Chains A and B, each alone.
Chain A
Amino acid sequence: MAELSAIPPKTEDRPSALREFWYYFSENRGAVMGLWVFAAFVFCAAFAPLLAPYDPTEQFREHILQPPAWQEGGSWAFPLGTDPLGRDMLSRLIMGSRYSFFVGIVVVCVAVTGGVIIGLLSGFAPKWIDTMIMRVMDIILSFPSLLLALVLVAILGPSLTNAMIAIAIVFQPHYVRLTRASVLSERQKDYVTSARVAGASKARLMFKTVLPNCLAPIIVQAALSFSTAILDAAALGFLGMGAQPPTPEWGTMLAEAREFILRAWWVVTFPGLAILVTVLAINLMGDGLRDALDPKLKRS
């Protein structure tokens, strides 16, 4: 039996999982750009109070609707201009990134946790429970997501927290379906059978054996729905059902500025651009993640 040890194993030279991941990820240039923008976004959110030149709610009465610095009438004191109440746009946008980031994180965490647990249960449960769970999820999926979120917020009352809860509930079914699908395919594999032959309990099979092998598609989906969550929260804010003024949430800022669209383009354009760039960056990054994590798309 010693014959195998005659040859020194050379597996050390094989690239580590992380390096291989980075190789595939970095092949997608859009994804790398997305990653940098996202990093800047996270940085803004983390150090917002230090980066913002002013308090986002402080009103400079003498500078109402001042245009951005490079336009006639603007000044470098307010690089991106001020809003109708004389608040500094730049400071509000920087602080707004905090809310957006917060919304994304909370919504994704709640939706993933709930969705994964329900998905695992329905993948392992007897057929009738599985059917019941899946029909409930189908019902949730059959509503337009924003409409359902609106209804939920209308019931719970308009606030940022309630908007996040509503969005999380709307997102849940995607994770349930995704988890269940990968559980069903993983369950067939021999390593699960051998865990059963070793006597593993249902709970152990679900969480220790199967779950870690289902995570890759869930991570990709989580990255992509981070951006959708930001978008939906902004939409709810715009409709007056999310964060309430004077919170400098991007969607709420858009709603407040609606009547000035023709007179002062900057009050609508900058929050809109902020949403666009963030969502685009996260989506690009998510695509890169999928290329790197999904073995089916990998080149031979």
Chain B
Amino acid sequence: MSLLDIRNLTVEFATASGKFRAVDGVDLSVDKGELMAIVGESGSGKSVSMLALMGLLPWTATITADQLSFEGIDLTKISARDRRKIIGKDIAMIFQEPMSSLNPCFTVGFQIKEALRIHLGLNRKERHERAIELFDQVGIPAPESRLNTFPHQMSGGMNQRVMIAMAIACKPKLLIADEPTTALDVTIQAQILDLLLRLRDEQGMGLVLITHDMGVVAETAERVQVQYAGQKVEEQPVKDLFRTPRHPYTVALLNALPERATSKLLPTIPGVVPGQFDRPKGCLFSPRCQYADDLCRSLPPTPHSAEFGKARCHYVEKIIAGELA
């Protein structure tokens, strides 16, 4: 049984001009101690699907799913109170902007102790000791004195460590990291990614890493799913994905990376990700796909078998066989 199992998750937002489908039939499963990466460009719904799981979406959002279970408990069937007991304790989340995720009015020590008090009900002395222990665990030097600093007195990297300390305070079984290093410099990014990997190994928690950076995925993840315009278009183990990407979108995305460039002009994907008003009828990638034909433009494809990377494409087999060029 996997730790987290999501089947056919759909999220729709009510907007000024009708419904907008941000997440469209996404499946996701994460095992204990596994690092799953969700990669996609802006508008791919990668953050929205996880926010939906956490119950952090505004009331304009409608969430439907065939299954949304954590450790075998179906989250859609239990009361909001029971849900809150799981979320925040067994599932924790960290965000992109460490600076704005912390309250600037209070010291970081106060904020982490607050979290410990609410979730674990420790007394004052135990809270203090646990806070120091956690700071030590996430590699904050001189944890005792750092407890008394305010978020603005520390760098982005240190604040992200504090956020991680707060997230792992209750020993969660699943940690969702939403672009945890996007706002940080590369040397700090390497430190934070190492920290996340180390914590995963130490605590055996599942880790969902949401990112747009193919480099980060390649260096950290084990399994990767690629999302495009709210749909999951491909899922493969990381090495296979980079060696033999199946979906035309993944292929084009990898080719567009400057580091894979062979000439001064990069291969590009024409056009832009479809928005609310120009959603195609058939395959969502069809307007930008070099292989697209009338079938692609009229009928949405269904995911293939794992052998073909679960690619949502009508022509995966033919493209691999080289019949379409």
**Residues from 215 to 255 in A contacting B, C-beta threshold 8 Å:** none
Q: Given contacts A14-B277, A299-B58, A300-B58, are A4 and B271 in contact (CB under 8 A)?
A: yes
Chain B residues within 8 Å of A10, by CB: 277-278
Q: For the complex, is A11 an interface residue (Cβ under 8 Å from B)?
A: yes
When the two chains form their complex, are residues A23 and B277 in contact, meaning their CB atoms are under 8 A apart?
Answer: no
Minimum CB–CB distance from A24 to chain B (whole Å) comes to: 7
Minimum CB–CB distance from B223 to chain A (whole Å) comes to: 30
Q: For the complex, is B153 an interface residue (Cβ under 8 Å from A)?
A: no
Chain B residues within 8 Å of A23, by CB: 16-17
Minimum CB–CB distance from A6 to chain B (whole Å) comes to: 5
Q: For the complex, is A3 an interface residue (Cβ under 8 Å from B)?
A: yes
When the two chains form their complex, are residues B16 and A24 in contact, meaning their CB atoms are under 8 A apart?
Answer: yes
Chain A residues within 8 Å of B288, by CB: 7
**Residues from 250 to 285 in B contacting A, C-beta threshold 8 Å:** 268, 270-272, 277-278
**Residues from 275 to 300 in A contacting B, C-beta threshold 8 Å:** 299-300
When the two chains form their complex, are residues B271 and A6 in contact, meaning their CB atoms are under 8 A apart?
Answer: yes
Chain B residues within 8 Å of A58, by CB: none
Minimum CB–CB distance from A72 to chain B (whole Å) comes to: 54
Cα distance A10–B17 when bound, in Å? 15
Cα distance A13–B278 when bound, in Å? 8
Count the A-B residue pairs with Cβ separation under 8 angstroms: how many? 33
Q: For the complex, is A199 an interface residue (Cβ under 8 Å from B)?
A: no
When the two chains form their complex, are residues A13 and B277 in contact, meaning their CB atoms are under 8 A apart?
Answer: yes
Number of interface residues of A (CB under 8 A): 15
When the two chains form their complex, are residues B16 and A3 in contact, meaning their CB atoms are under 8 A apart?
Answer: no
Cα distance A7–B275 when bound, in Å? 13
Cα distance A14–B274 when bound, in Å? 13
Q: For the complex, is B13 an interface residue (Cβ under 8 Å from A)?
A: yes
When the two chains form their complex, are residues B270 and A300 in contact, meaning their CB atoms are under 8 A apart?
Answer: no
Cα distance A300–B60 when bound, in Å? 8
Of A4, A13, A15, which contacts B16 at CB under 8 A? Answer: A15
Q: For the complex, is B88 an interface residue (Cβ under 8 Å from A)?
A: no
Closest to A23 in B: B16
**A1-42 CB contact bits vs B (8 Å, 1 = yes)?**
001101100110111000110011000000000000000000
Cα distance A11–B277 when bound, in Å? 7
Cα distance A13–B18 when bound, in Å? 12
Q: Given contacts A20-B16, A299-B58, A300-B13, are A3 and B270 in contact (CB under 8 A)?
A: yes
Chain A residues within 8 Å of B287, by CB: 7
Chain A residues within 8 Å of B268, by CB: 3
Listed A/B pairs (14) with beta-carbon separation below 8 Å: A4-B270, A7-B272, A7-B287, A11-B277, A14-B277, A15-B16, A15-B17, A19-B16, A20-B16, A20-B17, A299-B15, A299-B58, A299-B60, A300-B60
